[in-house]
Amino acid sequence: MGALQQGLAEAWVAIATFVPKLVVFLIIVLVGWLIAKAIGKAIQIVFARLGFNRLLAKSGLGEMTSKSNIDISGLLVKLVYYFILLIFVQLALGVFGPNAIKDLIDTVVLFLPRIVVAIVLVLVAAAIGRAVGDLIRGALGSRPIGPVLAKVTFGFIVALGVIAALNQLGIALTVTTPVLIAALAALAGVIIVGVGGGLIKPMQQRWGRWLDSAEAQFSGSPGSTGSSGSTGGPAENGKNGAKPGTGDAGVSGHA
């Protein structure tokens, strides 16, 4: 009986100490949920007032997100919501003392702001790329090479933003940095070899045609080359062919 009473007493003490902690845990989580819900709603209102979707469309990522059914504004709101909620869950778990779940949530809480920063980096890079592309397109006017250069510039700047975002997240650092360096080195090598050597003899003629076409587009010339040499050719041949015949006829007539 003594051992049974002692076990029951210890169980009662454990329950008596656990229940208040559980109540405090639930209260903290409830308060955190209400605050996270309110802040998420406020961010949605701010995005609606600022016209976030219009800004996203102007940055050049609107078509990409619409095709993939990704709501960037909703994603940012959810990240902020879960970030705040997990902070309160982290505080609530502290009531029970050190535990593995609290350590895991600490890691997630530290990682969520990096995701937000990475998304912002991609958006800023897309906006800069769109602005630079518009400047290139406006500077080249209606020349066909303008849209091509604008798209290439936009894609290159967005790629740099994506690499910066991956570095911010700490994902594939050993891959993204060498890829960026290799891409820049390859681009520099192509420019050096292409401009200096014409990519060897088979490419020299092609470079000549491409450069002539680009020069015609930049200068705005109509590009009607070689037309003067072909006009009037058949008529002149006919005249030249008729003159000997009439000359021979005239000579034979006199004879």
pLDDT digits (tens, 9 = 90+) for 109-158: 888 888 888 888 888 888 888 888 888 877 777 777 778 888 888 888 88
pLDDT of 240 = 47
For 201, the domain range is: 182-218
pLDDT of 197 = 56
pLDDT of 65 = 64
With cut-offs at 50, 70 and 90, classify the pLDDT of residue 13: confident
pLDDT of 55 = 74
From 101, 131, 161, the end of a domain falls on 131
d(CA 23, CA 92): 10
Three-state SS string over the chain comes to: CHHHHHHHHHHHHHHHHHHHHHHHHHHHHHHHHHHHHHHHHHHHHHHHHHCHHHHHHHCCCHHHHHHHCCCHHHHHHHHHHHHHHHHHHHHHHHHHCCCHHHHHHHHHHHHHHHHHHHHHHHHHHHHHHHHHHHHHHHHHCCCCHHHHHHHHHHHHHHHHHHHHHHHHHCCCHHHHHHHHHHHHHHHHHHHHHHHHHCCHHHHHHHHHHHHHHHHHHHHCCCCCCCHHHHCCHHHHHHHHHHHHHHHHHHHHHHC
Domain-located, residue 228: no
Range of lowest pLDDT (44-48, 147-151, 180-184, 236-240): 236-240
Q: Which residue has the higher pLDDT, 39 or 101?
A: 39
Q: What would the pLDDT profile of 188-244 be if each residue is shown by its tens digit?
A: 776 676 555 555 565 666 667 777 777 777 775 444 444 444 444 444 444 444 444
Count of structural domains, the chain: 2
Q: Considering the chain, what percentage of its residues have pLDDT values greater than 90?
A: 7
Residue closest to 59 by CA, chosen among 115, 117, 124, 120: 124
Domain-located, residue 209: yes
From 105, 131, 157, the end of a domain falls on 131
Q: Which residue has the higher pLDDT, 170 or 90?
A: 90
33 and 116 co-located in one domain? yes
Residue 3 has pLDDT above 80, yes or no: no
Domain-located, residue 224: no
d(CA 185, CA 66): 34
207 and 118 co-located in one domain? no
Domain-located, residue 214: yes
19 and 122 co-located in one domain? yes
Domain-located, residue 240: no
pLDDT of 113 = 84
pLDDT of 16 = 78
Domain-located, residue 98: yes
With cut-offs at 50, 70 and 90, classify the pLDDT of residue 38: very high
Q: CA-based diameter of the chain, in Å?
A: 160
204 and 112 co-located in one domain? no
pLDDT of 60 = 65
pLDDT of 47 = 83
Q: Considering the chain, what percentage of its residues have pLDDT values greater than 70?
A: 67
Domain-located, residue 198: yes
16 and 127 co-located in one domain? yes
213 and 124 co-located in one domain? no
20 and 125 co-located in one domain? yes
18 and 126 co-located in one domain? yes
126 and 189 co-located in one domain? no
Domain-located, residue 210: yes
What's the pTM value of the predicted model, to 2 decimals? 0.57
Residue 179 has pLDDT above 60, yes or no: yes
